[in-house]
Structure 1
């Protein structure tokens, strides 16, 4: 009696399971599917005040989450005032509101400050984009964006930190006008461009 056909079947089954296995985060951390737009923009599904899911652009350089003005109207968000928001080379004042909850998969942040802005330029790239996921949400979690597997990992249990290897670069606290809300300036890192430069440069993340 030959066992070769049996072993062949086992090998085929193992291969099939490997091919069909879903990508996952290190340490079995909760993951979100990432949809790539224009080759570099990461889009994830979010729930806003129990409604959704809506597509949000992941932007680690945005200090505050943003809701498109059309979605804010649908959700009937209560505008609390205006605040200044600075970008890499721009600055403007926008309405802001508070969400009861913003949820990404299993993870959520309650009473989240968001700015309301017309995101027509982003929606020109993909009309399904309804907001921007910024750092005032992401700061509550360790974050990993796996571009190869197209997943976003969010962790509040220190599991990802145990898997991470390499140098840690501290973030610099933002600063700006005293009459604006906190966290409206971009986070930055200190960097040196050459050995001849004494003062470090601040680079926006």
Structure 2
């Protein structure tokens, strides 16, 4: 874990240098050269605020999988493993991170995981423990090992996730969209990065992991200190945190954190008004060295509010400026 701090800090500094790009407008997509998605899956908001899709595992299903851009690896929960014959994989354990720290979980040969015709084959992942009652666990987490192969577009109006070829010009109507940097965040022990962008709050630029697996947006205390206005501490509202992300909560260790009201936050030229977020210095933030400066997890409570596209190949996030309707 010690080497992670150096790697992550270097990337964060790189993002801050690139924040001048945050207001760059999205190119005009669509037109004669546009292409249809490779796959399109309906989603629903379930499990306390996660984007959830139907997945088939080794031909069986459908099973509920959380869409998690904060997870580098696709994983199964124990309740799904109980219906399958997953065999231990001949490799070292896989490290999974949560709010309360890291765990090395045994690797298993999960097999084929398919969503609307796109698949991970011969997949090796981990089995996550089910959440304690009364929490109802899903059956799996769909991570970046599948998502980053495509250009995912979450259509808020259509309630679908469209997966485009990475080099495709989407056929989706993107008039009135904006864009911002989507910068890979590498760690020393993983070849697949997480991705981060920049949130602007009253002039304070805060790098944030783009984390659809987080049902709430989480700022560290350093980020709170950087916010010079537009913030109201709501001491009467405290709530537990649980998310489906690799950074926090997959181990169902809810904790208590303060919630704050932010008058306005902005990504590119997309704005959100009067939003409630969480301030919490998670142990994993300290382990990774992120707590030394402002940082956050940008969760589904913000990202699922309107249509969003993650262009991993060109390292951009495209966002509908205003929620329709």
Post-superposition offset of 1:120: 1.3
Larger Rg: 1
Partners of 1:37 and 1:125 within 8 A in 2 = no
Residue 131 (str. 1) matches residue 140 (str. 2): yes
Post-superposition offset of 1:101: 1.8
1:39–1:87 distance in 2 versus 1, CA, 3 Å = closer
Secondary structure at the aligned position of 1:136 is classed as helix
1:167-178 matched pairs, under 5 angstroms: 167-176=179-188, 178=189
Which residue matches 2:131? 120
Aligned length, in residue pairs? 171
Residue 37 (str. 1) matches residue 37 (str. 2): no
- Large movers: runs of 4+ above 6 Å: 192-197
Match of residue 149, structure 2, among 140, 163, 166? 140
Which residue matches 1:158? 168
Task: Identify the structure with the greater helix proportion.
Answer: 1
1:31–1:120 distance in 2 versus 1, CA, 3 Å = same
- Cα-to-partner distance string for 1:112-156 (whole Å, 9 max, x where unaligned): 2322111315x85445x2011111111111101223322111122
Task: Identify the structure with the greater strand proportion.
Answer: 2
2: CA distance between counterparts of 1:126 and 1:142? 30
2: CA distance between counterparts of 1:45 and 1:193? 34
- Cα-to-partner distance string for 1:168-198 (whole Å, 9 max, x where unaligned): 413223204x4xx644xx613254868998x
TM-score (norm 2): 0.45
1:137–1:192 distance in 2 versus 1, CA, 3 Å = closer
Unaligned runs of 5+ in 1: 1-25
Partners of 1:188 and 1:202 within 8 A in 2 = no
1: CA distance between counterparts of 2:140 and 2:150? 19
Post-superposition offset of 1:108: 1.4
Match of residue 53, structure 1, among 58, 62, 66? 62
Partners of 2:199 and 2:208 within 8 A in 1 = no
1: CA distance between counterparts of 2:67 and 2:162? 12
Deviating more after overlay: 100-109 vs 55-64: 100-109
Secondary structure at the aligned position of 1:173 is classed as strand
1:53–1:102 distance in 2 versus 1, CA, 3 Å = same
- Cα-to-partner distance string for 1:88-124 (whole Å, 9 max, x where unaligned): 5632111222333211112112222322111315x85
2: CA distance between counterparts of 1:89 and 1:188? 21
2: CA distance between counterparts of 1:166 and 1:84? 35
Partners of 2:180 and 2:198 within 8 A in 1 = no
| Aligned alpha-carbon RMSD (Å) | 3.2
